């Protein structure tokens, strides 16, 4: 079984497009290289921020192969699975492994609100189809399915289900997971606006969104917290918060793409039905980004902590 450490910052990568909605692989590479240079510990392709619902499976594979060609040997490149049919999820997992993915992020079934038994069966089917390490994405706020502690108890029989992207918005759930399972499951925070709190509470990592525009600041916060330098991390985090709040809006893709364009490592183009921002909304979001850029903090030497 392939393995790596579920620890650190794992950017949920954007999928850059050109004005005709074609994938811009060159710009994708530019952003990926910025994440690696900043000290990211792995990346995730085709998540919500990657506009998974508009990507063809062949395009996800293209992004995976391109990323593996750029990333240094051993650098984890994960593929997101967000399918409505179990067979499709299984086939995507098999193809991802054959194409060189390092691991998977796995959502519950899409569209249909499966009950606990159906959700566990879905996860088990995918886990049984691959040797890749799997991170379950637990986000009942957006996807309406809560992966409970009892469900994780059932899933613990699968050795390759190793981590959870914790997006319940309930910080105490981290303590509940640790109390119940100790170190059986790695915990990665999936909500930018509570990342520092989650890390202090014992989360092992951070599946980050605003890292797509501000990779160094994101990794700095993580490493400072883990080094016990909470005051230094908090100073950056407070500066970062107006930007981090862009991650919890229905238009998080457009907002974060605008931020990435503003820092030179992305573009605003999206795929329909999404549309680029315009009017007062664009002015408001751009103001948040510009104010942050004007006051961008001087970072400590976080790479050597």
> Can you give the CATH number for the domain in which 275 is found?
3.20.20.70
Contact 108, 147 (CB under 8 A): yes
Instruction: Give yes or no for a cis peptide into 139 (omega within 30° of 0).
Output: no
Q: Mind listing the pLDDT tens digit for each residue in 248-275?
A: 999 999 999 999 999 999 999 999 999 9
Domain that residue 269 falls in: 8-304
pLDDT of 71-111, one tens digit each? Answer: 999 999 999 999 999 999 999 999 999 999 999 999 999 88
**DSSP secondary structure of the chain:** -------EEEEB----B-TTS-B-HHHHHHHHHHHHHHT---EEESSTTTTGGG--HHHHHHHHHHHHHHSPTT--EEEEE--SSHHHHHHHHHHHHHTT-SEEEEPPPSSS---HHHHHHHHHHHHHT--S-EEEEE-HHHHS----HHHHHHHTTSTTEEEEEE-SS-THHHHHHHHHHTTSSEEEE--GGGHHHHHHTT--EEEESGGGT-HHHHHHHHHHHHTT-HHHHHHHHHHHHHHHGGGGSTTHHHHHHHHHHHTTS------TTS----HHHHHHHHHHHHHHHHTPPPP--GGG-
Q: Is 1 contained in some domain?
A: no
Distance CA 81, CA 104 (A): 7
Q: pLDDT band for position 2 (50/70/90)?
A: low
> 13 and 43 in contact (C-beta within 8 Å)?
yes
**Angle at CA of residue 257, ends 253 and 263, nearest 5°:** 150
pLDDT score for 1 = 64
**Structural domain includes residue 78:** yes
Q: Does residue 162 belong to any structural domain of this protein?
A: yes
Strands 77-81 and 103-106: parallel
Instruction: Please report whether residue 220 resides in a domain.
Output: yes
pTM: 0.96
At residue 187, the pLDDT reads: 98
Band of pLDDT at residue 112, cut at 50, 70 and 90 = confident
* C-alpha span between 264 and 258 (Å, rounded): 10
Report if residue 52 sits inside a domain.
yes
Question: Do 220 and 243 contact (CB within 8 A), yes or no?
Answer: no
- Domain total in the chain: 1
Residue 34 domain flag: yes
């Amino acid at each position: 079984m392939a393995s790596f450490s579920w620890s650190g910052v794992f950017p949920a990568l954007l999928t850059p497009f050109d004005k005709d909605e074609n994938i811009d692989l060159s710009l994708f590479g530019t952003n990926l290289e910025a994440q690696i240079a900043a000290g990211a510990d792995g990346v995730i392709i085709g998540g919500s921020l990657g506009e998974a619902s508009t990507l063809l499976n062949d395009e996800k594979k293209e992004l995976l192969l391109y990323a593996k060609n750029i990333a240094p040997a051993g650098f984890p490149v994960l593929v997101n699975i967000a399918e409505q049919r179990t067979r499709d999820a299984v086939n995507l997992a098999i193809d991802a492994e054959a194409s060189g993915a390092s691991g998977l992020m796995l959502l519950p079934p899409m569209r249909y609100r499966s009950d606990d038994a159906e959700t566990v069966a879905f996860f088990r089917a995918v886990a049984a189809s691959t040797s890749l390490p799997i991170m379950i994405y637990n986000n009942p706020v957006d996807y309406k399915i809560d992966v409970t502690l009892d469900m994780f108890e059932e899933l613990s029989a699968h050795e390759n289900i190793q981590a959870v992207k914790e997006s319940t918005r309930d910080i105490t759930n981290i303590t509940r997971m640790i109390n119940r399972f100790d170190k059986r499951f790695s915990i990665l925070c999936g909500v930018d606006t509570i990342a520092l709190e989650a890390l202090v509470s014992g989360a092992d990592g951070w599946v980050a969104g605003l890292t797509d525009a501000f990779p160094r600041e994101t990794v700095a916060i993580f490493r400072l917290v883990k080094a016990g330098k909470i005051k230094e991390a908090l100073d950056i985090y407070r500066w970062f918060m107006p930007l981090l709040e862009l991650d919890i809006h229905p238009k998080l893709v457009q907002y974060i793409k605008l931020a990435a364009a503003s820092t030179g490592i992305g573009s605003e183009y999206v795929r329909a039905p999404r549309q680029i921002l315009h009017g007062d909304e664009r002015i408001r979001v751009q103001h948040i980004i510009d104010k942050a850029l004007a006051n961008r903090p001087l970072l400590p030497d976080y790479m050597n902590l």
